[in-house]
Amino acid sequence: MTAPTSQALAATVISGSGLYAPPAVISNEELVESFNTYVELHNSRYQKDIETGERTALQPSATDFIEKASGIKRRHVVNKEGVLDPHRMFPIIPDRHNDEPSVQCEMAMAAGQQALDDAGLAASQIDAVIVACSNLQRPYPAVAVEVQAAMGMAGFAYDMNVACSSATFGIQAAVNAIQSGSARAVMVLSPEICSGHLNFTDRDSHFIFGDACTAVIVQAAEDVKAGQGFEVLGTRLKTQYSNNIRNNFGFLNRGDESGMGKPDKMFVQQGRKVFKEVSPLVASLIGDHLQSHGLVATDLRRMWLHQANLNMNQLIARRVLGRDATVDEAPVILDEYANTSSAGSIIAFHQHQSDLAPGDLGVICSFGAGYSIGNVILRKR
Ligand code: COA
């Protein structure tokens, strides 16, 4: 097979996708019960300080608030016991020996194998692997290189992180690799263990995230049989700096012991500001991107949006379409999986695409910390 030349950019296709969700599920009721026990324990422990005004009493959480404010009903997690233990509020994930597969590698292998089966490929036919996600469990060696070896994939592999937009940025990187001739078949994996960065003792955000891993395979179109997959008509990325979603965890934390373990070393957000600032940015990016391809919103059969907040998705879809979207037009997976960071829009795509007819158009659109927004226009083949 000859590599495409730069003069004629090769058409690319998403030829397969996969999803791994850990079997353990936490309902809103279970999560709120554990959180409220934590609150009771905290408030009785610090009762005197609360009475003298030295500390503020913590407020309980509520399931009806969670569902109304976010649309989330439950979430899958890698470990349930640790999260629900009011004395711990963090998943139990035992250290593994260096010779064992890492947790993210295992999740990626499960999702990746599904994507290979979907695309009808053997692992050895993949010649680039990108692990694109919000949190990597170690700096090096790259998780992508570990997965590449564990599954027997060829070529090269690397990790990247653009928070909730990691998967769409990864898809653009995959398209670029194919169009520049450095790869023919790229696997983009998003093993998101969001329960590891979530502060389960924070009432404002304890309900937001869940764990999952997605996989997509991007190939040169000429290698994919007619009628299979989705042609990538174009990708568009946008970043705009903001501190409204931030996590200060990092390798320099040890430089100041007083900051270690503080809440800013986990996910922190100004949710309302994010909602207000990001929604219009996303809607206009989708509109501009469609326009640059001679398309309009009414041409879209489906929007596979990032899954952070149901109300936010409804607002974005309304701004894009000029009317309310149906769940058929903008499917929701948030109720079952919560926010799985970069995996969310890909889960929506994976679970809601088999009914599309040849020629149908859709967008995968992610948004999140950075801010970062990624849009991918697809046409069913
Ligand atoms: N249970 C009960 N009440 C709660 C609560 C909880 N768990 N958490 C907050 N509240 C209360 C607040 O104290 C506040 O009370 P007040 O009105 O008396 O002050 C009220 O509910 C509203 O809180 P607010 O934080 O303004 O809620 P919201 O409607 O903005 O919803 C989010 C919160 C996080 C669900 C929402 O802002 C969001 O999803 N934003 C987008 C975030 C996003 O996309 N992030 C991307 C991350 S990848």
The CATH code of the domain that includes 284 is 3.40.47.10
Q: Assess if residue 73 is contained within a domain.
A: no
Distance CA 28, CA 321 (A): 32
Residue nearest (by alpha carbon) to ligand 1 atom 39: 309
**Nearest to 210, CA basis, from 24, 17, 370, 18:** 24
Distance CA 344, CA 167 (A): 9
Cis omega (within 30 of 0) for bond into 371: yes
pLDDT class for 86, splitting at 50, 70, 90? very high
Q: How many helices (H) and strands (E) does the chain have?
A: 11, 13
CA of 64 to the centre of ligand 1 (A): 12
Residue 247 Cβ contacting ligand 1 at under 6 Å: no
The answer to whether residue 209 scores a pLDDT higher than 70 is yes
Q: Assess if residue 301 is contained within a domain.
A: yes
Phi, psi of 182 (to 5 degrees): -85, -10
pLDDT class for 2, splitting at 50, 70, 90? low
pLDDT tens per residue, range 235-273: 999 999 999 999 999 999 999 999 999 999 999 999 999
Helix, strand or coil for residue 298? helix
What's the Rg (C-alpha) of the chain? Answer: 21
CA of 377 to the centre of ligand 1 (A): 31
**Nearest to 39, CA basis, from 95, 107, 87, 74:** 87
Residue 69 Cβ contacting ligand 1 at under 6 Å: yes
Domain containing 278 equals: 229-380
Instruction: Find tokens 């898809």 and name the residue.
Output: 171
Residue nearest (by alpha carbon) to ligand 1 atom 47: 368
Return the number of other C-beta atoms located less than 10 Å from residue 43's C-beta: 17
Catalytic site residue 194?
A: no
Mean pLDDT for the stretch of residues 90-112: 98
**Percent of the residues in the chain that have a pLDDT greater than 70, as a whole number:** 98
Phi, psi of 309 (to 5 degrees): -155, 125
The pLDDT of residue 71 is 97
Q: Assess if residue 339 is contained within a domain.
A: yes
Helix, strand or coil for residue 143? helix
Residue 276 Cβ contacting ligand 1 at under 6 Å: no
The pLDDT of residue 7 is 59
3-state SS record for 328-380: CCCCCCHHHHCECCCHHHHHHHHHCCCCCCCCCEEEEEEEECCCEEEEEEEEE
CA of 270 to the centre of ligand 1 (A): 9
Residue 20 parent element (H or E): strand 12-20
The answer to whether residue 287 scores a pLDDT higher than 80 is yes
The pLDDT of residue 3 is 52
Residue 81 parent element (H or E): helix 80-84
Helix, strand or coil for residue 17? strand
Which of 275, 335, 341 has the most ligand 1 atoms within 8 A of CB, as the residue to mutate?
Answer: 275
Contact between residue 77 and residue 91 where contact means Cβ atoms under 8 Å apart: yes
Nearest-atom index, ligand 1, CA of 207 = 7
Tell me what the pLDDT averaged over the chain comes to. Answer: 96
CA of 272 to the centre of ligand 1 (A): 7
The pLDDT of residue 29 is 98
**Percent of the residues in the chain that have a pLDDT greater than 90, as a whole number:** 97
Residue nearest (by alpha carbon) to ligand 1 atom 14: 204
Distance CA 44, CA 78 (A): 31
Residue 272 Cβ contacting ligand 1 at under 6 Å: yes
The answer to whether residue 184 scores a pLDDT higher than 80 is yes
Residue 217 parent element (H or E): strand 211-220
Residue 368 Cβ contacting ligand 1 at under 6 Å: yes
pLDDT tens per residue, range 139-168: 999 999 999 999 999 999 999 999 999 999
pLDDT tens per residue, range 13-25: 999 999 999 999 9
CA of 327 to the centre of ligand 1 (A): 23
The answer to whether residue 183 scores a pLDDT higher than 50 is yes
Q: Assess if residue 87 is contained within a domain.
A: no
* DSSP letter string, 238-249: EE---SSEE---
The answer to whether residue 219 scores a pLDDT higher than 60 is yes
The pLDDT of residue 6 is 46
Q: Assess if residue 128 is contained within a domain.
A: no
pLDDT tens per residue, range 35-77: 999 999 999 999 999 999 999 999 999 999 999 999 999 999 9
Q: How many domains does the chain have?
A: 1
Q: Assess if residue 284 is contained within a domain.
A: yes
**Nearest to 64, CA basis, from 209, 207, 272:** 207
Nearest-atom index, ligand 1, CA of 311 = 39
Q: Assess if residue 195 is contained within a domain.
A: no
Helices 343-351 and 166-180, packing angle to 10 deg: 80
CA of 104 to the centre of ligand 1 (A): 30
Q: Exposed, middle or buried by CB within 10 Å (0-12, 13-18, 19+), for 163?
A: buried
3-state helix, strand, coil in the chain (%, to 5): 40, 20, 40
How many CA atoms lie within 13 Å of 10's alpha carbon, on the beta-carbon side?
25
The answer to whether residue 356 scores a pLDDT higher than 80 is yes
Q: Assess if residue 240 is contained within a domain.
A: yes
The answer to whether residue 335 scores a pLDDT higher than 60 is yes
Residue 312 Cβ contacting ligand 1 at under 6 Å: yes
How many residues would you count in the chain?
381
Contact between residue 230 and residue 362 where contact means Cβ atoms under 8 Å apart: yes
The residue from 105, 164, 213, 365 that is catalytic is 164
